[in-house]
A and B are shown apart, each in its own frame.
Chain A
């Protein structure tokens, strides 16, 4: 996985140098891209769930930033937000799963193997083994099922499975190298990686395993049918990615963890190649993404068209290319499981049918893009040019990897053990319970070869059908579409899932927020803020009245009384000198009158 991330990542970086040359924000693009590489490597190299979660959120952030890279375009920024929000839904489950693991096992480290002092730092694997052996946890214990399902919710968000896949097709608004690196080769496989990493828990939770397998198979076929009718080259590839991720989860769900990781690896090669090839086509056509305006490009851009053919053959599962080995491994394991449990037979049929659909939509894409008559507008046709070397060399390397990537599984053809599986053994061995271990029936080689030829034949049928409909009789497909107008419309509109989500969740949440806004306006603002303002006004009015009539009134009363009492005194204070003189005279007369008797006595005594 480290090799896949850094190897494919490196090729895509080289490619981006050519692709983004004419774009603004060149340094910003590469800054985000490197930040993504850091987060993805942290995710992959982490030895515990919390650090994995840091990387998990880091890649989510970079995904958001890069989808919305052309942030002046409304659909791009909307798609970025959609991806971010849908992923948060899944992350809630993932985080709860981590919490439940922490409280159940007391540790979130994967394993203590390879540490100097394993007893001091217990890992989930060791604690789980101890608990199982001591009988504290049984096979299929509810807490294990709960953990497994919560983690899987996180995986459905990141890896775009039902019901949380809706963000991935919209994510194609980002630059094409981003679609290749993040939304096809690396980040979206993080969910697969995480489930495979926690395989010890899943192996003990059969119900969760079944759910993973069913969700995977349903997503695979659901997304494949949606890819049939898309007209945007990148959207077809986006639905194809969802479908292939479904295959990986099917593999995990039937207990073929190594096969899931194997398909992850081969898928990284050919899907990166498909996206980069599509980017090269878009580059050649000066930004045209509509399949209906392509065609006949096979010879005009040979360094793009030939690797693209290889990738198409690889994803369709043609031997001996990479996709054949990994997809066949998954289908083979599913039917091997069905010998034990009948219900897996249905999953195998779905998987096989999806393989045929895959071949059909991929060859449809190939035929519409590179073969047939050119439907390119004249003025665009004049500017068709092959991409620069920095773009075509990564294509060639990825094409080479798409061819040989599956050969690591060659020994299984003659009944040997897969070296890939062997390499992953320390991680995937898990805890073997007393009962209920996952068992695979061993078919004789002849049946294995029969199964292989069935899947190749089915894929070939899909390719042949695409050839008939889109190349041999180019008008036939519109007739087919016209004969089932309802079905065609349903597929073109992607089962109206976006509209359903809008109707059931997005708009209902908007309604809820509107209700909250009303509550805010009427109750919090109305009753709370405005009400208290009114109350304050009333209280201040009362207070004012009190102030005016009682407090001031008392002061005024004192004043008035004083004034009233002083009135007689003021009568004398006329300010007229003559009246003062008169009063002085009157006073003197009174004094003299009063003392006249005493004066007589005084005068007499003096004599």
Chain B
């Protein structure tokens, strides 16, 4: 059983909060009062912190061998079959398209 729970399945929120406020600041920040800037920016990082804490606790709750969590949000670059190296190709590469990248998540929260 892989770890799950709100904080892990919503892990993508962790980097999203600061991104939203960063965008806000750099677009309309000039017109905001200082108090609003402080509240938004510090608040967003605090929300990230809460979600990260939740995610780490979620990982800890899992049995030690299963403390890996990975979530593919979207396929980013899907290459065809990679030209294999000069050594003989590993068995998987001929059968399945070697999808190189997808979005994030953390196997164990280093």
Which A residues are closer than 8 A to B by beta carbons? 1-3, 5-7, 9-10, 13-14, 17, 21, 26-28, 30-35, 37-38, 41-42, 44-48, 50-51, 102-115, 119-122, 127, 130-131, 134, 136-137, 143, 193, 196-197, 261, 422-427
Contacts and interface: CB of A to CB of B under 8 A. Distances in A.
Contacts of A10: 42, 45-46, 48-49
A45 B26 contact: no
A127 B93 CA distance: 10
A44 to B, nearest CB: 7
A3 B41 contact: no
Given A31-B26, A37-B48, A50-B77, A427 B107 contact: yes
Contacts of A423: 59-60, 67, 108-109
B49 A31 contact: no
Contact of B100 (A6, A108, A422): A108
B110 A197 contact: yes
Contacts of B26: 28, 31, 35
Contacts of B84: 106
B82 A106 contact: yes
Q: In terms of DSSP, what is the predominant structure of the interface of chain A?
A: helix
A51 B15 CA distance: 13
Q: Which 5 A-B pairs have the closest CB atoms?
A: A31-B25, A27-B29, A41-B15, A34-B22, A37-B18
B18 A34 contact: yes
Given A51-B76, A103-B85, A137-B87, 16 more contacts: A3-B52, A6-B53, A17-B38, A17-B42, A28-B26, A28-B29, A34-B21, A35-B22, A37-B45, A41-B14, A47-B103, A48-B101, A121-B72, A130-B91, A131-B87, A423-B67
B98 A38 contact: no
Interface string B1-30: 010000000010011101101101110011
B90 to A, nearest CB: 6
B106 A102 contact: no
Contacts of B45: 6, 9-10, 13, 34, 37
B25 A30 contact: yes
Contacts of A13: 41-42, 45
26 contacts: A7-B52, A10-B42, A10-B46, A13-B42, A26-B34, A27-B37, A28-B25, A28-B26, A31-B24, A34-B18, A34-B22, A34-B45, A35-B26, A41-B48, A42-B104, A47-B70, A50-B101, A51-B103, A51-B104, A102-B82, A104-B85, A109-B101, A127-B92, A136-B87, A137-B87, A422-B64
Nearest to A46: B104
Contacts of B59: 423
Nearest to A42: B15
A552 to B, nearest CB: 67
